[in-house]
Structure 1
Amino acid sequence: MPLRVIEIVTPREDKEEVIKSLEEHRPDEGYVFWASPLDDDSALSFRVILDVQESENVLDKLENLFSWNEKYRIIVFAAEATIPRLKIPEKEEPEVTQNDKNAEVTIKNRISREELYSDVLDTSVMSKSYVMLVIFSALVAVIGLMRGNVAIIIGAMVLAPLLGPNVGFSLATTLGDKKLALESSKTLAVGVALAFLVSLGAGLLLGLPKISSELLLRSTTSFSDIILAIVSGAAGIISFTLGVPTSLVGVMVALSILPPLSACGIFLGAGETGHAAGAGLLFLTNIICLNLAGVVTFLLQGIQPLTWWDRERAKVTAIRMAFLWGIMLAILILFLYFGIIS
């Protein structure tokens, strides 16, 4: 199991209070900790080493303890190993009263909410690097689609600049975080617009004397595409929550977001409106399935805000959005079933 180090910087006068709190919770989480003085002699640094699955429980307890005060600072970073190894605590079933909703301690087989939020935020924020990545990815996709070269298309899939903002929007929905939702939506909108314009320009300038098989594959939608998008989306979300970025490569390839969008732009620029509509529909299908799978998987993984009032509000938002994505998917399935679209 991966390890995490939680560093707590506190004023020196609060040393005993922090030690008492850490000692009280140590039997539940099975961590070890120690304190070190900082250079200015007015603050201490506590370091706690524990399994990643316990990090959210400890962070939530620390945040409740500090509630929140500018005097404190908590930093989380990864640890490769510790010697001697951590002991696995023997857990007893905790008694949870109605008046103490935060008393329940559950093992979460994932990274902490704060660590997940930081990882997702990195891929959801608008930046010059993101804009360049979208443009380069779109160019790679256009070249691969026009040449019918699968290897080049996979290169565009691996870059996957549109995956992060979608995951960010799903996490924002689950947490009821309006700021992250707006940032992810803005980043996604800009990314989609740029990729489409690059592809449209290629279609207008170069035309389409020959439609490659790879382009044709992105101009139709089938039930298998829906299943693939849902399964791949759920797998991608789990990869994020486990903090295993290497497994995302396979998800990026399976969940093809950019190539259908590029195909739509190429077809439209070349005057192939029928094929353009089909490619646009496949792109929309992937977006719907990814966000639906994202919200549901985040909920199943137990991702929720810290305080109970935020949890209730976020739960309502997540259920409403999941219902909305589900309705859109149901309409799409009905259209496919009755042959209205293909």
Structure 2
Amino acid sequence: MPLRVIEIIAPSEDKDEICKTLDEHRPDEGYVFWISSNEEEHSLTFKVVMDVKESENVLDRLESFFTWKDKYRIVVFPVEATIPRLKEIEEEPPAEDNQKNNQKKIQNRLSREELYTDVLDTCVLSRSYILLIIFSSIVAVIGLLKNNVAIIIGAMVLAPLLAPNVGLSLATTLGDNDLAKTSSKTLVVGILLAFAITFATGVFTGVDINENSSELISRASTDFSDIILAMVSGAAGIISFTLGVPTSLVGVMVALSLLPPLSACGLFLGAGHTSHAMGAATLFFANIICLNLSGVISFLLMGVQPLTWWKREEAKASSIKIIAIWGALLAILSALLYFGLVK
């Protein structure tokens, strides 16, 4: 796992208490730290080097310590390497007397704050996001009309609709209403804009359905293998994201395609092929449902939860409700597919 540096800027009068806190837990978590003074600002800077899997434990402890402080700042930096190397900490089962008191859990993933920051950066509705939607929609349209797999994959890799869905899943797990609103707004705008572009293209250019339209026609139907693929790909994507392995996400973007079926729906509907448009819409919404369902479950399995116990209870209740809603939608969709009521 990678390394992290946690930088703490705190008032000078808190030096002894912070040092005591860091010293007490250093043997368990194997980190090193040092202190530098900022004399002009009457503050101190603490720098802690540790394995990323320990960062959430330390960040939670520090955040609890600084809850009632006015002047502090905690910043997290990625680290390529450190010399000498940090020693690996061997986990030993706690004694029976200490089992109840030992609440520390090793999280083999990025910390909650890093996950939140990474998601928020890609979920904000911005000019860059709008441009990405426009360009990726154009790429998808060209690929579908030319029946060119390589071009379609290019639109898949851009994957502008993936991040807001991941943001929705994380917001559900953390019980964060602000993140949920931001992600929902970005997702809805992205869907409407992509659909408008592809619908207009279908109206003005038309769509010829023939033997050279296999890529387009393949997006006009859904079967149970598509649902299984979407569930597995969504879970794999969330796990890759929590582990900080961006290269693995490229494969997930290709496997779990959101933009091509949405683009196919717009093209078909604009050209007057209503039946095919409904089939493409079914595939798109099936992918959305499966991505969010598997996303919430995967975040929960990876131990992502709020810091405070009351927020955890609130997030747990909301997660159960959301899982039930997505699960019910998936059950309805599966029933419609089974009885042949949708393509």
Aligned-CA RMSD value: 1.2
Q: Secondary structure at the match of 1:293?
A: helix
The equivalent of 1:202 in structure 2 is 201
Q: Deviations over 1:73-101 (max 9, x none)?
A: 0000100011111112233445354xx7x
The equivalent of 1:180 in structure 2 is 179
1:17-36 correspondence runs (5 A): 17-36=17-36
Taking the aligned partners of 2:278 and 2:79, their CA distance within structure 1 comes to 49
Taking the aligned partners of 1:326 and 1:210, their CA distance within structure 2 comes to 34
TM, length-normalised to structure 1:
0.96
TM, length-normalised to structure 2:
0.96
The equivalent of 2:268 in structure 1 is 267
Q: Deviations over 1:48-97 (max 9, x none)?
A: 00000000000000011111533110000100011111112233445354
In the TM superposition, what is the alpha-carbon distance from 1:240 to its structure 2 partner? 1.1
The equivalent of 1:231 in structure 2 is 232
The equivalent of 2:256 in structure 1 is 255
Q: Deviations over 1:90-119 (max 9, x none)?
A: 33445354xx7xx50111110000000000
Q: Secondary structure at the match of 2:78?
A: strand
Structure 1 range deviating more: 181-190 or 60-69: 60-69
The 1:41–1:190 alpha-carbon spacing in structure 2 relative to 1, beyond 3 Å, is: closer
Question: What is the letter of the counterpart of residue 69 of structure 1?
Answer: K
Structure 1 range deviating more: 59-68 or 111-120: 59-68
Question: What is the letter of the counterpart of residue 121 of structure 2?
Answer: D
Q: Deviations over 1:210-235 (max 9, x none)?
A: 45111100000011100110011001
Q: Deviations over 1:138-172 (max 9, x none)?
A: 01000100110000000000000000000000000
Taking the aligned partners of 2:239 and 2:39, their CA distance within structure 1 comes to 41
The equivalent of 2:158 in structure 1 is 159
The equivalent of 2:107 in structure 1 is 108
Taking the aligned partners of 2:193 and 2:70, their CA distance within structure 1 comes to 41
In the TM superposition, what is the alpha-carbon distance from 1:28 to its structure 2 partner? 1.5
Taking the aligned partners of 1:299 and 1:40, their CA distance within structure 2 comes to 45
Q: How many residues align?
A: 338
The sequence identity of aligned pairs, in percent, is 66
Taking the aligned partners of 2:314 and 2:69, their CA distance within structure 1 comes to 24
The equivalent of 1:191 in structure 2 is 190
Taking the aligned partners of 2:110 and 2:30, their CA distance within structure 1 comes to 17
Q: Secondary structure at the match of 2:118?
A: helix
In the TM superposition, what is the alpha-carbon distance from 1:39 to its structure 2 partner? 5.7
The equivalent of 1:312 in structure 2 is 313
Taking the aligned partners of 2:69 and 2:91, their CA distance within structure 1 comes to 31
Q: Secondary structure at the match of 1:75?
A: strand
Q: Deviations over 1:183-225 (max 9, x none)?
A: 0000000000000000000000101134511110000001110
Q: Secondary structure at the match of 1:6?
A: strand
